[in-house]
Structure 1
């Protein structure tokens, strides 16, 4: 079942229109958001009336590394403003 679903999703993504939005590189959140946008663009090919997506950006529990880690995390988010 999972293999068939994977093939269905891949076939739908193969028909996806050309992406015009630029996404930041080397950014895991951007990669996840790009996949969400791609799946939304092929919603009708997947015969989905409702889609639900979760994305995440971990690392916010910085504790001792707050001074260095927190600015890096914020800069990852800043790319989307």
Structure 2
């Protein structure tokens, strides 16, 4: 089985953090889970930040290559929700 992810370790992506703020983070590791029904979940992990005492963990569908891509999705959801 060949598994491809949208982003690679070391790449920077944009997402919304737990406080609702748009942030950029560098992918430190990737977890891929394959379920019995054939569905796949890809999670991107940020390196642990001791100053903030946490690390970011985001689903692949919540990460974007650019801030503009992320904001376009946010605007779309706000418009149609």
Pick the structure with greater CA Rg.
1
Q: Same fold (TM over 0.5)?
A: no
Relative contact order, CA 8 A, sep 6+: which one is greater? 1
More helix by share: 1
TM-score (norm 1): 0.20
Query: Which TM-score applies when normalising by structure 2?
Result: 0.20
- Compare the two structures and name the one with the higher strand fraction: 2
